[in-house]
Amino acid sequence: MGVRAQSERLLEATRLQRTSALELAQAELAACARKGCPQAPQLSLLVGSLLLSRGEPREALAQLRKHPAPALLAPYRSFDIGQALFYMRDFRAAGQAFSEATTAPGAVANRAVARAGEALLRAGEPGQALPLLERALGALGGPELLADRSEARAALGDLLGAQADLHTLMVRYPRSQAAMDADAELRGSSAPAVALTLDERMQRTRVFLDAGDAKTALAELDRSEANGLVRDPASQAQVALLRAQALFSLNKVNEAEKALEVASEGPPATAAEAMLVRARRLLKLDEHAQAVERLQEISKRFAGEPAAEEADYFLGWLALQDGKLQAAADALESFERKHPESRRRDEACFFRALAQIRAGNWSEADRALRELQERYARSALVPQAKYWRVRVKQLAGGKPVEEYQDILKLYPQTFYGLLAQERLRELGARPEAVFTERPKLPSKVVAAPELALPRALASAGLWRESAEELRARLGAVHTPEAALRIGTALARVGEAWAAYNLANRLLWTKAYGQKDPGALALLYPRPYVSHVDETARAQGVHASLLYAIMRRESAFQPDRLSAARARGLMQLMARTASAIARELQRDPPEPDELYRPELNLDLSAWYVGQLAKRFVHPVLIAAAYNAGPAVTLKWTGELGSMPVDLFVESMPFKETRAYVKQVVADDSLYQTFYGGTDVRRLAMTLPKPASNGIEF
């Protein structure tokens, strides 16, 4: 793959974003200068980039100007020079530097176009900035570019165009900083406000509510009313419904109830939704009996409305949660008949089967599972339906060895394949080996000319820029053969996330059908292996479990940010990271520090280690990582006497059920692939969690 520009030690430091990376790079550059080595241009570029990331633009600029970059990396040097000048507020010179990178063959060109437009706008050249901003918007989109184009259009006298951009910004990106800044500026100036319809205001309100920002949601509703948009009883009811949801979030219960009264007087669809909001609140308060009454009323009074479908489903699901098994089965079967177009029919059918399994009605359970397979043959629930049909046969006194072997062959990578293995051992049978070869990349070096630029960036230690170029290229790969070839090349230079992305999209058949070792290596990589192994040992957990969580949480992307603002490889929330840091007597990290792989792994491994001490079993550890220790303790108190398979299916949270199934299956496969002969068995009974231990 060519000679690396930097030492392995420096590359590891930059990849893990260690605080020592800049000092290491400066030391290597100084040593290189004394020897006259050919790597000085790459090292100089890396030092300049690291100085920029430290917030030292003047020093970065001086360093970047000392050496020209190799031809392939020259646009990145120009871009970083532009960044340094921009931060020093020399906007005109920054625009010129950015312009030098706008014709580069790669993703940096689009960023350079956007930054050149922004710099020229700040330099007071809207006429030069506008075409660049329009070009960048076409390639990249995004709220900041919309705001900049609006500013450029306004400066050139195109007030209608400027207003149109602000309108798009406010409607499409309501939570972006650009939209909030523009909104605040409009309210504080004499400029004409952006005219939004009531539907657009309510759309913005829902976005704020979904993000947990109830105060901004209420402010949006206040503005709707102040602007005279709420003109009739129907719109009053719709606004009141949203207001009630925001007020409940702020625990202003009395005000919320008054708003619901207004919503209840609206059209049937709104009135039904208002009653559904009440029912959901009662569920959160564990007042199931009252919630059921509300749901039954919705079902009777508002048949045909979307809220009635929701109510009918929850009536069956709640009966199951409350242990009213026959009532649950009857309600869920009724739901399937009443709502033949519902997207939840397959779920209802499975929960009907689950109720019958828990009640010990084997024939009725088998009927429901058979119907799920036949009616919903394309459902993602078919593998679990097949497993549970075999399990029901065993529970009824059978010895379905061949059927379990079939499950294992069909779904070897899933939770149900793992369960089938354990059930076979329980029956005294030996599970057939599915993966006869361990994951292994082809020994032959493969050509991947598509990766020349990303590879050059990675070998220079510019991992973030390399990742940007890789993302620009991944979408152009469409065949398994290309995916295996390019994925192998990516894996060899340490880009596990990109290789996994390709494999997960295009290599399932090769991996799970043909059992190709190369495809399996891409689907089950071990990035940062020395650090993960060391950290796992230090915290008393298995590296396989850390990799399984990482695979599910971030797909190995160190810069992953979730909608809930979880960050990094193990998707840590800032408040959780701060709590862990306090336990470790460290300073709480800034949220964006959690993108550093080393820090993210260190904090997460400690947390997983504490969960393992309290919960022991991988099912409970995974559940606690996803849903929290308190919820997991509650579930074990209520359901912990069940066998593992039944416990997992009975957990109330859909997201956690899916999470646990994947993490536990992946943990087992990582052990099988990389753990030698000492592979841990999955215990089919759950231990009682420790009474004391981690609680956050």
DSSP states of 675-693 as a string? STT-PPP--SSPPPPPSSS
Alpha-carbon dihedral angle through residues 473, 478, 484, 490, given to the nearest 10 degrees: 10
Residue 446 has pLDDT above 60, yes or no: yes
pLDDT of residue 492: 87
Residue 151 has pLDDT above 70, yes or no: yes
- In tens, the pLDDT along 555-582 reads 999 999 998 899 999 999 999 999 999 9
Confidence at 188, pLDDT banded by 50, 70, 90: low
**Any idea what the Cα angle at residue 104 is, between residues 99 and 109, rounded to 5°?**
65
Of 486, 507, 523, which residue constitutes the final position of a domain?
523
Residue 216 predicted with pLDDT over 50:
yes
- pLDDT score for 3: 42
The residue ranking higher by pLDDT, 571 or 12, is 571
Residue 666 maps to a domain: yes
Task: Compute the average pLDDT of residues 362-385.
Answer: 97
Residue 4 has pLDDT above 70, yes or no: no
The pLDDT, as a whole number, for residue 106 is: 83
Instruction: List beta partners, residue 567.
Output: 561, 572
* 3-class secondary-structure state, position 428: coil
DSSP letter string, 449-461: GGGHHHHHHHHTT
* CATH number for 72: 1.25.40.10
Answer yes or no: are the C-beta atoms of 310 and 291 closer than 8 Å: no
**Same domain assignment for residues 494 and 547:** no
669 within some domain:
yes
pLDDT digits (tens, 9 = 90+) for 452-492: 999 899 999 999 999 999 998 898 999 999 999 999 999 98
Residue 2 has pLDDT above 50, yes or no: no
Question: Other C-beta atoms within 10 Å of 638: how many?
Answer: 14
Structure tokens belonging to residue 221:
């509703």
For 441-461, give one letter per residue: b (16+ CB within 10 A) or e: beeeeeebebbebbbbbbbbb
Cβ atoms within 10 Å of 681's Cβ, excluding its own: 10
Q: How far apart are CA 75 and CA 318, in angstroms?
A: 60
Name the phi and psi angles at 546, rounded to 5. Answer: -65, -45
Query: Per-residue pLDDT for 191 more than 70?
Result: no
Q: What are the tens digits of pLDDT across the range 612-671?
A: 999 999 999 999 999 999 999 999 999 999 999 999 999 999 999 999 999 999 999 999
Query: Which tokens go with 522?
Result: 């891409």
Instruction: For residue 594, tell me if it sits in a domain.
Output: yes
Same domain assignment for residues 600 and 574: yes
Residues 462 and 606 in one domain: no
Collapsing DSSP states into helix, strand and coil, what is residue 535? helix
Reported as a pLDDT band with limits 50, 70 and 90, residue 189 is low
For 151, the token pair is 């500013």
User: 511 and 576: one domain?
Assistant: no
Tell whether 561 and 462 lie within a shared domain: no
pLDDT in tens, 576-620: 999 999 999 999 999 999 999 999 999 999 999 999 999 999 999
Judge if 146 and 46 occupy the same domain. Answer: yes
Using pLDDT thresholds of 50, 70 and 90, give the confidence band for residue 1: very low
Q: How far from chain centre, in Å, is Cα 96?
A: 38
Q: Could you report the per-residue pLDDT of 240-262, keeping only the tens digit for each? A: 999 999 999 999 999 999 999 99
CATH number for the domain spanning 603: value is 1.10.530.10
Residues 27 and 174 in one domain: yes
Structural domain includes residue 92? yes
Residues 130 and 58 reside in one and the same domain:
yes
Do residues 509 and 641 share a domain?
Answer: no
pLDDT tens-digit profile of 314-337?
A: 999 999 999 999 999 999 999 999
Distance CA 195, CA 198 (A): 10
Residue 498 forms part of a structural domain = yes
Residue 2 inside a domain? The answer is no
Distance between CA atoms of residues 48 and 62, nearest Å: 8
Q: In the structure encoding, which two tokens stand for residue 472, read together? A: 């620009």
Residue 390 to residue 397: CA distance in whole angstroms: 11
Ordered alpha helix ranges (H), 100-251 = 108-122, 126-139, 143-155, 159-172, 177-187, 198-210, 214-226, 233-249
Say which DSSP state 70 is in.
P
Tell me which H or E stretch contains 329: helix 325-338
How far out from the chain centre does Cα 49 lie? 28
Question: Given 523, 554, 577, which residue is the final one in a domain?
Answer: 523
The answer to whether position 299 is within a domain reads no
Residues 511 and 541 in one domain: no
Q: Residue 184's pLDDT is what?
A: 87
**Dihedral angle computed from the Cα positions of residues 329, 330, 331 and 336, in that order, rounded to the nearest 10 degrees:** 90
Q: Supply 462's token pair.
A: 């510019």
Cβ atoms of residues 424 and 405 within 8 Å: yes
Range of the domain at 119: 8-187
CA distances to 372, 460, 493, 605 from 490, in Å: 41, 15, 5, 26
What share of the chain in percent tops pLDDT 70? Answer: 98
pLDDT tens readout for residues 104-121: 988 999 999 999 999 999
For the stretch 491-520, pLDDT in tens is: 988 899 999 999 999 999 999 999 999 999
Of the candidates 156, 162, 87, the residue with the CA atom closest to the CA atom of residue 128 = 156
**Do 503 and 536 belong together in one domain?**
no
Number of domains forming the structure of the chain:
3
Q: Do 158 and 19 share a structural domain? A: yes
CA angle 624, 630, 633 (to 5 degrees): 75
C-alpha 113/C-alpha 239 separation (Å) is 42
CB atoms closer than 10 angstroms to residue 590: 10
Residues in contact with 525: Cβ distance below 8 Å, sequence separation at least 6, in sequence order: 491, 496, 499, 500, 556
What contacts 668, CB < 8 A, 6 or more positions away?
418, 544, 679, 680, 682
Q: Is residue 618 part of a domain?
A: yes
Which residue among 152, 187, 222 closes a domain? Answer: 187
Cα–Cα dist 573/584, whole Å = 17
